């Protein structure tokens, strides 16, 4: 496949006129919606490893209260405590990966896991505070995002607390949902934006949500264009990275097919940019869905500027600093019909240096 050149404008401002305030991009929220909470049954875990409550299968949800139980175990990650604890056991029939969550509990929890036996000081995994719990009822709840478990072993999950605290807990043990590496294929073009992080300000390709506005400009190609990007949530799931890929269509009409496949639940859509940022009125059309499978959208579009927009779907978790942040975006049908003069009709102000940059 011919290597297609993507002219990524590295943080190049499409310096607009004085915007008189931030354009309305509230329809493309970087702020995320609340998640649904799974229904939970009510039963306390066992007092010790020898009386641990077995987890019959995944997914598993349970609730209980550690108050009134005994402080049998502790692991410091990084704080030691004297909180009472209860124990569950998981004996997987095959090698897998699970997430262990106390996120929705009502006290300052801690969770740790032993493999096969009590190994004080050497837990299999431990988490006290998980900053990526989505809207926990109380701060400092816990979650082990990826717990690798192997057939032939038993894993003791200890529900514990911080300090000497105890309370009502909500335990969830589910299959890891992000075990699907999305590889960048040969010829794939790097988005160029690094992973996001807490406090991140997207001045790279946050489109109309960036100030000044900033896009990744895609050059037309007769071949499919494959872009390898990164996305994720940050600031405790209140923000997400958004990627705006700008196309300038020059045909009377152009049929574009865009497909995205991500290591996180993903949302992708077209945005009509023909009126500039001030007149953007939401996603023209979009798809959204789970990680690990492609989601495609085909539209026949009139000439002018359009954006292909990619971001995490409205799910908690999937933080920027996780190893599962990659996606591929494939754009087909984006070809030049006439000349490159199409940009002359641009409604988005650009500096000359930017325009030169497009064809460098």
Give the footprint of Ca ion on this chain (CB under 5 A): 71, 74, 83, 85, 108, 110, 128-129, 140, 160, 162, 193, 202, 205, 229-230, 241, 243
Q: Which is nearer to Ca ion, 85 or 248 (CB)?
A: 85
Q: Which is nearer to Ca ion, 60 or 169 (CB)?
A: 169
Q: Which is nearer to Ca ion, 77 or 174 (CB)?
A: 77
Are 302 and 249 in contact, with CB atoms under 8 Å apart?
yes
Label residues 294-327 b or e (16+ Cβ within 10 Å = b): ebebebebebbbbbbbbbbbbbbbbbbebebbbb
Task: Determine the Cα–Cα distance for residues 216 and 244; give it in Å rounded to an integer.
Answer: 6
Task: Determine the Cα–Cα distance for residues 344 and 140; give it in Å rounded to an integer.
Answer: 54
Residue 123 CB, nearest approach to Ca ion (Å):
12
Residue 206 CB, nearest approach to Ca ion (Å):
5
Residue 135 CB, nearest approach to Ca ion (Å):
16
Are 169 and 63 in contact, with CB atoms under 8 Å apart?
yes
Residue 289 CB, nearest approach to Ca ion (Å):
18
Closest CA to 36 of 316, 322, 327: 316
CA distances from 259 to 24, 146, 328 (A): 27, 28, 8
Q: Which is nearer to Ca ion, 85 or 261 (CB)?
A: 85
Q: Which is nearer to Ca ion, 63 or 254 (CB)?
A: 63
Residue 122 CB, nearest approach to Ca ion (Å):
16
For 331, phi and psi rounded to 5 degrees? Answer: -120, 125
Residue 311 CB, nearest approach to Ca ion (Å):
8
Find the Cα–Cα–Cα–Cα dihedral 185, 335, 264, 150, rounded to 10°.
Answer: -20
**Burial (Cβ within 10 Å: 0-12, 13-18, ≥19) of residue 73:** buried
Q: Which is nearer to Ca ion, 147 or 158 (CB)?
A: 158
Residue 57 CB, nearest approach to Ca ion (Å):
27
Residue 140 CB, nearest approach to Ca ion (Å):
4
Q: Which is nearer to Ca ion, 69 or 274 (CB)?
A: 69
**212 upstream amide cis, omega within 30 of 0:** yes
Q: Which is nearer to Ca ion, 55 or 166 (CB)?
A: 166
Residue 339 CB, nearest approach to Ca ion (Å):
30
CA distances from 224 to 5, 8, 228, 310 (A): 11, 17, 13, 17
Task: Determine the Cα–Cα distance for residues 119 and 114; give it in Å rounded to an integer.
Answer: 7
Q: Which is nearer to Ca ion, 202 or 272 (CB)?
A: 202
Q: Which is nearer to Ca ion, 327 or 334 (CB)?
A: 327
CA distances from 219 to 4, 45, 249, 250, 326 (A): 8, 58, 10, 12, 22
Residue 267 CB, nearest approach to Ca ion (Å):
13
């Amino acid at each position: 496949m011919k290597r297609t050149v993507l002219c990524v404008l590295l943080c190049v401002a499409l310096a607009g006129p004085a915007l008189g305030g931030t354009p309305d991009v509230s329809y493309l929220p970087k702020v995320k919606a609340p998640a649904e909470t799974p229904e939970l049954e009510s039963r306390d875990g066992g007092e010790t490893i020898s009386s641990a409550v077995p987890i019959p299968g995944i997914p598993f949800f349970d609730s209980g209260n550690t108050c009134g139980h005994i402080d049998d175990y502790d692991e410091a990650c990084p704080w030691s405590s004297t909180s009472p604890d209860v124990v569950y056991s998981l004996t997987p029939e095959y090698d897998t990966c699970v997430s262990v969550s106390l996120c929705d509990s009502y006290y300052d929890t801690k969770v740790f896991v032993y493999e096969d036996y009590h190994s004080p000081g050497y837990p299999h995994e431990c988490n006290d505070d998980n900053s990526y719990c989505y809207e926990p009822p109380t701060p400092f709840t816990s979650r082990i995002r990826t717990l690798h478990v192997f057939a032939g072993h038993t894993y003791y999950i200890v529900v514990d607390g911080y300090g000497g605290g105890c309370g009502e807990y909500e335990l969830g043990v589910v299959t890891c949902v992000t075990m699907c590496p999305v590889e960048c294929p040969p010829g794939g073009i790097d988005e160029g934006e690094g992973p996001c992080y807490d406090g991140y300000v997207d001045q790279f390709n946050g489109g109309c949500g960036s100030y000044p506005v900033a896009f990744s400009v895609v050059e037309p190609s007769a071949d499919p264009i494959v872009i390898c990007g990164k996305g994720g949530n940050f600031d405790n799931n209140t923000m997400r990275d958004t990627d705006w890929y700008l196309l300038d269509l020059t045909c009377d009409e152009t049929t574009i097919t865009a497909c995205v496949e991500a290591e996180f639940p993903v949302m992708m859509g077209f945005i009509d940019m023909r009126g500039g940022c001030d007149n953007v009125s939401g996603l023209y059309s979009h798809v959204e869905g789970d990680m690990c499978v492609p989601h495609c959208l085909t539209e026949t579009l009139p000439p002018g500027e359009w954006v292909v927009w990619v971001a995490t779907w409205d799910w908690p978790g999937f933080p920027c600093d996780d190893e599962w942040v990659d996606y591929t975006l494939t754009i087909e049908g984006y070809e030049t019909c006439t000349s490159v003069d199409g940009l002359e009709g641009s409604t988005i102000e650009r500096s000359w240096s930017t325009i030169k940059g497009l064809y460098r």
